Structure 1
Amino acid sequence: MLDAIEIIHEGVEMQAVHSNGFVYSVYTFLTMTIACDIDVTFFPYDTQTCLIVFDPLSGFEDQYKIEFANDSLPLIAYKENDQWELITPAVNRMKTIRHVPEFPNAKQATTELKLKRRHLFYTIFIICPTIILYLLSGLTFMLPVDSGEKVSFAVTILLAQIVSFGTLSNIFPASSKNLPILAYLVLIATFHTSLVCLASVFCKY
């Protein structure tokens, strides 16, 4: 659902008032910034749904009517974003919200936006390095014990994994309600690398 809204600009080019009280607005536009609740469980391969609700709070259908001109949101002024991809079409829906005997047909207008995160950046800079470090940690047991590099190699991989984990904490969305599954996988990989480092020390002695 719509969580926050900030109106940046509002303007009306022309309005026509008819004798029956009907007011027709032409080229009315509203520029605003909205924020929606998101579920980052499947980050960075997540798809978010944002509902923009227009609710008649100060009157009912006998005073004015809220309705969409089209079933889908026009994307004339839409600009591509480098982090999100808009799944078209953006659907417009109307539904009855108040079951009051005096106003049985009060309507609520809802626009549903579906956004898909572009995951290429996160795949290259998060997932691939984590997998590479995790696989390298397994090479620790392939080094000869008498080479003297077994422990140092394990410690180097562990430090690289910890530094990577600290860096990823700044990239992951800050949310304690829905922690990404990828964060758990990185945490498990770091813990496993720590066990490999400890096993290398004990195997030496």
Structure 2
Amino acid sequence: MFAVKTNVLMIVTIIMIMSFGIFGETISKTNSETKLIADLLAGYHPSVVPSDNGPVEVGMGFGMGYFDFIDETKELAIANGFLFRFWFDHRLQWSADDYNGTQVITIDRNTIWVPHIQVENSVTVKEPTDGQLRVLSSGRVSFNQPLHIEFICDMDLTYFPYDKQSCNIEFGSFLYTTEFVNLTASSYPFVIPNASLVKSAKDFQVTTFTVKRNEPYSQFVAPYGFADVTYTIGLKRQSNAYTAKLIIPSVLSSFLILATFLIPAASKEKITLCGILFLCLLLLIALLHTTVPGTGETILGQLLAFSLFVDFFATIMAVVSYNIKVNGIWSRKDSDIMLKDIKTNSDSQSDSGDKTLVTPPSMPSRKLAWLRYIDAISFIVFSIVFVIGVSVIMTQRE
């Protein structure tokens, strides 16, 4: 019994000694980090650029996770992701052996120098006002923070709804020229742009995501310029829904306009069909106007406008043709021919004793021949323009 109590007491003693050792080591490490930070920041001024024999090389990367258009009419887009920055600060170097083997510390962003980087084409940028920086004993500093950007994206809607867009996010600084800070795109694998990792809204698919360094304003502050890093996002619109509600009705309505030129010139049905198609085209143009963002001109809109003009022309021709048929437009020569034919028919019926009512001859078909020629020419011209317009639109699907 005594031996058992002795063993238990020894085990408890060993556990307590280990616990105190670990706790003491933790306290010692904490004290070392506290002393290290105090030593590093003694006499450190966060406004001074840590340039030593040349500009500070700042590598940056933007890991975008989500993209969407918040207002296509105003050409505004949003992007969410993480902004990564890396640089060396020679004032933050130390020997790990002097501080109990401490090789990495975290420092508040407001206590040391941080490169000023802004989104040059942004409307609003939401980012945390605080944050921690990771500093290595070699003086390498890394700063990672989430970013929510609302920025301007110029759109080309010529081939809507089969359009492809390209949006730029420009990171740069108007505070430091390349004499003090040289901003470059980071080559670290986890910040290299990757389109497959970017989620987008249902209307668009991210196809490409690339990065390029520029110096667009070097001519104003020669020999140094303001460097920027531009991320380019390639987008392709998901056009299936627009094909169903815009393209197919527009194409079918245009085909029916072609059919009106094949209906006899003086037919009432032609007037009715032209009127219905005119209303359909107006509705399609109104739908396109409410669907297409901004005031961009599209080939589809031009095709619908041309179809509306041709339908108006066909309606006018149908009304004129019908009035010619009903009211008659005769020359004096035509009237003399008609009276001669009526008299001849009347005399022949009198000789035979037939008292049937004499009917006038039908209107000469040559009076409407020129209208049929106009219909034929219009059919050919509109068919050519229609085929060209539809071909241009449909080739943009690929």
Over 3 Å counting, the alpha-carbon distance change for 1:84 and 1:78 in structure 2 is same
Q: 1:73 aligned to 2:190?
A: no
Is the 8 Å Cα contact of residues 49 and 114 (structure 1) preserved in structure 2? yes
1:124 counterpart SS class:
helix
The CA distance in 2 between the partners of 1:19 and 1:183, in whole Å, is 63
1:28 counterpart SS class:
strand
Which of 146, 153, 166 is residue 49 of structure 1 equivalent to? 166
Q: Look up the match of 1:109.
A: 229
The CA distance in 2 between the partners of 1:105 and 1:160, in whole Å, is 57
Over 3 Å counting, the alpha-carbon distance change for 1:16 and 1:147 in structure 2 is closer
Q: How many residues align?
A: 199
Over 3 Å counting, the alpha-carbon distance change for 1:160 and 1:21 in structure 2 is same
Q: Look up the match of 1:92.
A: 211
The CA distance in 1 between the partners of 2:129 and 2:194, in whole Å, is 18
Over 3 Å counting, the alpha-carbon distance change for 1:21 and 1:59 in structure 2 is farther
Is the 8 Å Cα contact of residues 172 and 226 (structure 2) preserved in structure 1? no
The CA distance in 2 between the partners of 1:193 and 1:111, in whole Å, is 47
Q: Which has more helix, going by share of residues?
A: 2
Over 3 Å counting, the alpha-carbon distance change for 1:157 and 1:165 in structure 2 is same
The CA distance in 1 between the partners of 2:261 and 2:177, in whole Å, is 74
Is the 8 Å Cα contact of residues 141 and 200 (structure 1) preserved in structure 2? no
Q: Give the CA deviation at 1:62.
A: 5.3
Over 3 Å counting, the alpha-carbon distance change for 1:11 and 1:67 in structure 2 is farther
Q: Look up the match of 2:304.
A: 186
Q: What TM-score results when the alignment is normalised by the length of structure 1?
A: 0.80
Q: Look up the match of 1:156.
A: 276
The CA distance in 2 between the partners of 1:143 and 1:183, in whole Å, is 27
Q: Look up the match of 2:149.
A: 32
The CA distance in 2 between the partners of 1:125 and 1:47, in whole Å, is 19
1:170 maps to a residue whose letter is T
Q: Mean Cα displacement is larger for which, 143-152 or 117-126?
A: 143-152
User: Structure 1 vs Structure 2: percent identity of aligned residues?
Assistant: 22
Q: Look up the match of 1:59.
A: 176
Q: Any unmatched runs of 5+ in structure 2?
A: 1-119, 324-398
- C-alpha distance after superposition, 1:79-111 (max 9, x if no partner): 2321111112x111123442656x647532111
Which is higher, the Rg of structure 1 or of structure 2? 2
- C-alpha distance after superposition, 1:32-53 (max 9, x if no partner): 1222111222222222222211
Is the 8 Å Cα contact of residues 10 and 31 (structure 1) preserved in structure 2? no
Q: Look up the match of 2:116.
A: none
Q: Look up the match of 2:247.
A: 127
Which of 185, 196, 201 is residue 314 of structure 2 equivalent to? 196
Q: What TM-score results when the alignment is normalised by the length of structure 2?
A: 0.44
The CA distance in 2 between the partners of 1:62 and 1:122, in whole Å, is 51
Q: Any unmatched runs of 5+ in structure 1?
A: none
Q: Give the CA deviation at 1:170.
A: 0.9
1:93 maps to a residue whose letter is K
1:94 maps to a residue whose letter is R
